[in-house]
């Protein structure tokens, strides 16, 4: 029998080697077709008397990324359609669907012949759940082997037996930690947790897996043996009595109750460990069906998986422009940003010329790259040789003539219009005709900067976020005259350095910083109202933000806010800045409280190991409200709503044209409460009508900046959503 996604070779010992290798895909994923084929393979190998046992491995460099989440997305669509017809039946159908993968793995586990999973590379999610249902698990000790059940990161959980098999192998605390964080394990760690039987050299992987079968591996899972005991003795033990009362509290501390899937993992494990295995699987299936119906799961899968992938693959790239090949990229300004941009570019294998005002300044940029490389080598992310190769690609020089054969130049000099103008002219004097010029400005509109260019169609913004080597987002900004080729080249470059782009039109602050400054501005308002600073910071975290607004302001520098205010006043007039905000920021700057860089800002930063703490003097700036008089729920709402409203304004102004970009940009750019799926999904998730009502209530108490915009009012009247009205999947935008 032949299969599309698998090959089977049975050796003289009667061991069938099933190799999973999906045609035309760089990674194996679990699709309906793959599950059907696997089902048939189980039947075929059981029926074939020659076959004594099965080893399953992958023909690709990784084992598998897990379930194809597009399959889950189509389940959402189906569910919505069915729900409109008959809600009760829709849930029943969903329940049946969610049980398919779990049922298939249970069939494998109880098929009567031994199966061994030979894990040759990354093995994630459903693929690890498949491996867990095999009777033996052997992994290669290659560094590339990463094992994880990361479902919680996209709002769901390991619902194909994962929540039942992991805590029947590993101790409960490790099992909960692994599944509620979704973090990756090395093969050695997975073995130490008892999730693998063996870890061997890559070249010995298949023989070791086969040897397990030859050594008489029993085709019975431990939990199907009589007298099986859960590691540590199960729920009713003194150790569990310590663990379980604390577990929900710890989870709440980490997630503030924002992630229903994480809580469902706790419930599955707690309830499941008290039940026979097949009943436990049913319990898991019920919780999974419930979680799939949550707004969080829907929005997170859409933004954090589907949209992110689509944007990464160049959803916004103009068709018809040939793919750019980068023979050399120039970076002008080898400072804080330029040096790291040079590093990520060289890490993508592209030769870089790093230019600064003199050789010494350019060399300083390369020194930054050297320390980034030694950090990566020390952490084992790259080998010493790879590090040396990367550094050999970076040439520091003050000589602009080195740009004569560059395909793209990224400017990262001081944020000063005159300096940028001089650099644009110098670069364009040597740059080849077809090459593209990009500015990494964070505040200056691209259209204005392009006026200094003799070829504005080839001028574009590529806005990086700091730290460049860690932040996954880049904001690509189109000036008024930016042409298709510049956009295509910018997106090809972003793809080459493996970051996710969003493409926005030109405006002061672009998209991400406009939202970020709303967040910080709302915290200024709260401080001025006398809300205790600790409540502001904690409310932000409870709302799902990774960093409180005052802490964030310290990171980006308080004097940067001061400079931005002054620039806005100079360009747009004094009414463009709230005088109370100006007064607050001026006070801090005059006191030398510039943020983390000066060891004091909204926080004090005592020498390590002491931790940062809020500056006690904040209490004296404004008359303080009593904590019990402040409604934390309202603080949380204000912080999220003000950002989401700003995102809606950028859509209304035509800055952001695709809701996917607003959502992905907000999560990757500043960590906007990921469980919401991003700024616009937050609005769509509660419904535009509800959002508008919330804005109106907040506007009455906290000011006109909460007034819903005409677009929102129109959408509320027509009962529309952002993803409906600005449908990114083909239909024309209606605004």
Span from 226-234, 352-360, 368-376, 545-553 in contact with ligand NAD (CB under 6 A): 352-360
Span from 273-281, 389-397, 462-470, 562-570 in contact with ligand NAD (CB under 6 A): 462-470
Determine contact, residues 686/693, Cβ cutoff 8 Å. no
Cα→Cα distances 116→18, 135, 203, 206, 531, Å: 10, 6, 16, 10, 59
Q: Is 356 in the site for ligand NAD (CB under 6 A)?
A: yes
Q: Is 57 in the site for ligand NAD (CB under 6 A)?
A: no
Span from 20-28, 331-339, 598-606, 661-669 in contact with ligand NAD (CB under 6 A): 331-339
SS3 570: helix
- Work out how close the CB of 468 gets to ligand NAD at its nearest, in angstroms, rounded to a whole number: 8
Binding marks (x or -) toward ligand NAD, 396..435, rule CB under 6 A? Answer: ----------------xxxx---x--xx------------
What angle separates helix 69-85 from helix 277-292, to the nearest 10 degrees? Answer: 70
Q: Is 334 in the site for ligand NAD (CB under 6 A)?
A: yes
- Work out how close the CB of 441 gets to ligand NAD at its nearest, in angstroms, rounded to a whole number: 4
Helix (H) or strand (E) holding 16, with range, is strand 15-20
Q: Is 338 in the site for ligand NAD (CB under 6 A)?
A: yes
Q: Which is nearer to ligand NAD, 276 or 467 (CB)?
A: 467
- Work out how close the CB of 510 gets to ligand NAD at its nearest, in angstroms, rounded to a whole number: 10
Q: Is 449 in the site for ligand NAD (CB under 6 A)?
A: no
- Work out how close the CB of 595 gets to ligand NAD at its nearest, in angstroms, rounded to a whole number: 12
Task: Give the residue, chosen from 315, 321, 361, 471, that forms a contact with ligand NAD under the rule CB under 6 A.
Answer: 361
- Work out how close the CB of 527 gets to ligand NAD at its nearest, in angstroms, rounded to a whole number: 24
Say which residue the tokens 């769901």 belong to: 156
Helix (H) or strand (E) holding 365, with range, is helix 359-378
Span from 66-74, 126-134, 436-444, 611-619 in contact with ligand NAD (CB under 6 A): 436-444
- Work out how close the CB of 561 gets to ligand NAD at its nearest, in angstroms, rounded to a whole number: 13
Task: Give the residue, chosen from 357, 389, 455, 689, that forms a contact with ligand NAD under the rule CB under 6 A.
Answer: 357
Cα→Cα distances 642→59, 85, 520, 720, Å: 49, 37, 10, 20
Task: Give the residue, chosen from 248, 335, 351, 448, that forms a contact with ligand NAD under the rule CB under 6 A.
Answer: 335
Q: What is the DSSP string of 596-649?
A: GGGTBSSEE-PSTTSPPEE-TTHHHHSPPPPGGGS-HHHHHHHHHHHHHHHHHH
- Work out how close the CB of 461 gets to ligand NAD at its nearest, in angstroms, rounded to a whole number: 10
Q: Which is nearer to ligand NAD, 27 or 419 (CB)?
A: 419
Q: What is the DSSP letter of 66?
A: E
Determine contact, residues 653/662, Cβ cutoff 8 Å. no
| Cβ-closest position to ligand NAD | 335
Span from 21-29, 49-57, 290-298, 439-447 in contact with ligand NAD (CB under 6 A): 439-447
Cα→Cα distances 579→335, 517, 595, 619, 638, Å: 33, 15, 21, 20, 20
Distance CA 142, CA 201 (A): 7
Closest CA to 546 of 581, 504, 522, 516: 516
**Long-range CB contact pairs, 237-245, < 8 A, 24+:** 240/172, 243/172, 243/173, 244/270
Q: Is 734 in the site for ligand NAD (CB under 6 A)?
A: no
- Work out how close the CB of 551 gets to ligand NAD at its nearest, in angstroms, rounded to a whole number: 16
- From the list 135, 197, 290, 463, the catalytic residue is 463
Residue 9 φ/ψ, nearest 5 degrees: -130, 120
- Work out how close the CB of 569 gets to ligand NAD at its nearest, in angstroms, rounded to a whole number: 18
Q: Which is nearer to ligand NAD, 124 or 352 (CB)?
A: 352
Q: Which is nearer to ligand NAD, 189 or 508 (CB)?
A: 508
Angle value at C-alpha 29, between 500 and 224, nearest 5 degrees:
130
Q: Which is nearer to ligand NAD, 28 or 440 (CB)?
A: 440
Span from 89-97, 233-241, 332-340, 501-509 in contact with ligand NAD (CB under 6 A): 332-340
SS3 assignment for 111-163: CCCCEEEEECCCEEHHHHHHHHHCCEEEEECCCCCEEECCHHHHCCCCCCCHH
Task: Give the residue, chosen from 464, 493, 602, 675, that forms a contact with ligand NAD under the rule CB under 6 A.
Answer: 464
Task: Give the residue, chosen from 40, 279, 466, 690, that forms a contact with ligand NAD under the rule CB under 6 A.
Answer: 466
- Work out how close the CB of 254 gets to ligand NAD at its nearest, in angstroms, rounded to a whole number: 28
Q: Which is nearer to ligand NAD, 446 or 543 (CB)?
A: 446
Span from 184-192, 270-278, 281-289, 458-466 in contact with ligand NAD (CB under 6 A): 458-466
Q: What is the DSSP letter of 303?
A: I
Q: Which is nearer to ligand NAD, 444 or 534 (CB)?
A: 444
Q: Is 452 in the site for ligand NAD (CB under 6 A)?
A: no
- The reply to whether 463 belongs to the active site is yes
- Work out how close the CB of 438 gets to ligand NAD at its nearest, in angstroms, rounded to a whole number: 11
Pairing assessment for the beta strands 6-10 and 15-20 based on DSSP bridges: antiparallel
Q: Which is nearer to ligand NAD, 234 or 546 (CB)?
A: 546
Contacts of 280 (CB under 8 A, 6+ apart): 164, 268, 271, 272, 273
Determine contact, residues 147/106, Cβ cutoff 8 Å. no
- Work out how close the CB of 331 gets to ligand NAD at its nearest, in angstroms, rounded to a whole number: 10
Distance CA 420, CA 435 (A): 18
Determine contact, residues 274/151, Cβ cutoff 8 Å. no
Q: Which is nearer to ligand NAD, 93 or 357 (CB)?
A: 357
Span from 330-338, 374-382, 452-460, 493-501 in contact with ligand NAD (CB under 6 A): 330-338
Q: Which is nearer to ligand NAD, 201 or 429 (CB)?
A: 429
Cα→Cα distances 604→466, 545, 581, 618, Å: 22, 21, 20, 11
Distance CA 22, CA 41 (A): 15
Q: What is the DSSP letter of 293?
A: T
Chain centroid to Cα 50, Å, comes to: 47
Q: Which is nearer to ligand NAD, 391 or 419 (CB)?
A: 419
Q: Is 104 in the site for ligand NAD (CB under 6 A)?
A: no
Tell me, by CB under 6 A, how many residues bind ligand NAD. Answer: 24
Torsion, Cα 554 587 442 420, to 10 degrees, reads -130
Task: Give the residue, chosen from 268, 281, 337, 372, that forms a contact with ligand NAD under the rule CB under 6 A.
Answer: 337
Pairing assessment for the beta strands 329-332 and 352-355 based on DSSP bridges: parallel
Distance CA 436, CA 729 (A): 29
Q: Footprint of ligand NAD on residues 480-509 (CB under 6 A)?
A: none
Q: Which is nearer to ligand NAD, 413 or 531 (CB)?
A: 413
Q: Is 333 in the site for ligand NAD (CB under 6 A)?
A: yes
Active site residues: 463
Which residues in this chain contact ligand NAD in the complex, by CB under 6 A?
Answer: 332-338, 355-357, 361, 412-415, 419, 422-423, 440-442, 463-464, 466
């Amino acid at each position: 029998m032949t299969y599309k996604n698998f090959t089977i070779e049975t050796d003289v010992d009667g061991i069938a080697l099933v190799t999973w290798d999906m045609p035309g895909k760089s990674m194996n994923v679990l699709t309906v077709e793959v599950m059907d084929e696997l089902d048939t393979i189980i039947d075929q190998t059981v029926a074939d008397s020659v076959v004594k046992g099965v080893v399953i491995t992958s023909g690709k460099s990784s084992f598998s990324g897990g379930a194809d989440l597009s399959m889950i997305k189509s389940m959402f669509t189906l569910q919505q359609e069915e729900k409109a017809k008959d809600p009760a039946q829709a849930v029943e159908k969903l329940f049946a669907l969610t049980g398919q993968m779990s049922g298939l793995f249970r069939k494998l586990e109880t098929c009567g012949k031994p199966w061994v999973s030979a894990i040759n590379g990354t093995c994630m999610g459903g693929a690890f759940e498949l491996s867990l249902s095999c009777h033996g698990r052997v992994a290669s000790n290659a560094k590339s082997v990463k094992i994880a059940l990361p479902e919680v990161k996209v709002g769901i959980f390991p619902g194909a037996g994962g929540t039942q098999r992991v805590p029947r192998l590993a101790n409960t605390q490790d099992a909960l930690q692994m599944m509620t964080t979704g973090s990756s394990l090395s093969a050695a760690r997975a073995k130490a947790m008892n999730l693998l039987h063996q870890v061997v050299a890559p070249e010995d992987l298949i023989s070791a897996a086969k040897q397990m079968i030859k050594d008489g591996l029993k085709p019975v899972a431990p939990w199907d043996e009589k007298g099986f005991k859960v590691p540590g003795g199960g729920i009713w033990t003194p150790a569990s009595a310590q663990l379980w009362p604390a577990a929900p509290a710890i989870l709440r501390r980490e997630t503030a109750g924002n992630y229903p899937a994480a809580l469902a993992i706790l419930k599955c494990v707690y309830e499941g460990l008290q039940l026979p295995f097949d009943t436990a699987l049913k319990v898991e299936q019920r919780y999974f069906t419930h979680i799939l119906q949550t707004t969080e799961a829907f929005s997170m899968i859409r933004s954090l998986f589907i949209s992110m992938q689509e944007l990464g693959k160049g959803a916004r790239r103009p068709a018809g422009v040939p793919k750019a090949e980068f023979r050399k990229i120039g970076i002008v300004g080898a400072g804080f940003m330029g040096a790291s941009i040079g590093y990520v570019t060289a890490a993508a294998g592209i030769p870089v010329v790093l230019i600064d005002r003199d050789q010494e300044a350019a060399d300083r940029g390369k020194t930054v790259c050297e320390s980034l490389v030694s950090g990566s080598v020390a952490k084992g992310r790259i080998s010493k040789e790879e590090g040396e190769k990367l550094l050999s690609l970076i040439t520091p020089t003050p000589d602009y003539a080195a740009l004569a054969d560059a395909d793209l130049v990224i400017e990262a000099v001081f944020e000063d219009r005159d300096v940028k103008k001089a650099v644009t002219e110098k670069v364009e004097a040597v740059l080849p005709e077809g090459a593209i010029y990009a500015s990494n400005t964070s505040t200056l509109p691209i259209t204005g900067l392009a006026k200094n260019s003799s070829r504005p169609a080839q001028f574009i913004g590529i806005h990086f976020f700091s730290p460049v080597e860690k932040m996954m987002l880049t904001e690509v900004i189109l000036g008024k005259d930016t042409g298709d080729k510049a956009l295509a080249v910018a997106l090809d470059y972003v793809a080459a350095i493996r970051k996710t782009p969003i493409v926005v039109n030109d405006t002061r602050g672009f998209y991400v910083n406009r939202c970020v400054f709303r967040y910080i501005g709302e915290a200024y308002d709260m401080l001025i109202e006398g809300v205790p600073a600790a409540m502001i910071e904690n409310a932000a975290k409870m709302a799902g933000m990774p960093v409180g607004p005052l802490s964030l302001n310290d990171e980006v520098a308080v004097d940067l806010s001061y400079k931005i205010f002054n620039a806005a006043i100079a360009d747009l007039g004094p009414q463009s800045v709230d005088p109370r905000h100006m007064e607050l920021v001026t006070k801090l700057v005059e006191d030398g409280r510039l943020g983390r860089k000066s060891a004091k800002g909204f926080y004090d930063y005592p020498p390590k190991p002491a931790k940062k703490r809020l500056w006690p003097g904040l209490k004296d700036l404004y008359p303080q409200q009593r904590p019990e008089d402040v409604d934390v729920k309202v603080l949380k709402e204000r912080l999220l709503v003000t950002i989401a409203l700003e995102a809606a304004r950028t859509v209304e102004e035509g800055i952001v044209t695709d809701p996917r970009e607003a959502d992905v940009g907000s999560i990757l750019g500043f960590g906007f409460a990921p469980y919401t799926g991003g700024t616009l999904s937050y609005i769509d998730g509660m419904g535009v009508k509800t959002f508008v009502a919330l804005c109106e209530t907040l506007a009455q108490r906290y000011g006109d900046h909460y007034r819903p915009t005409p677009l929102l009012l129109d959408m509320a009247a027509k009962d529309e959503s952002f993803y409906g009205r600005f449908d990114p999947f083909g239909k024309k935008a209606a605004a």
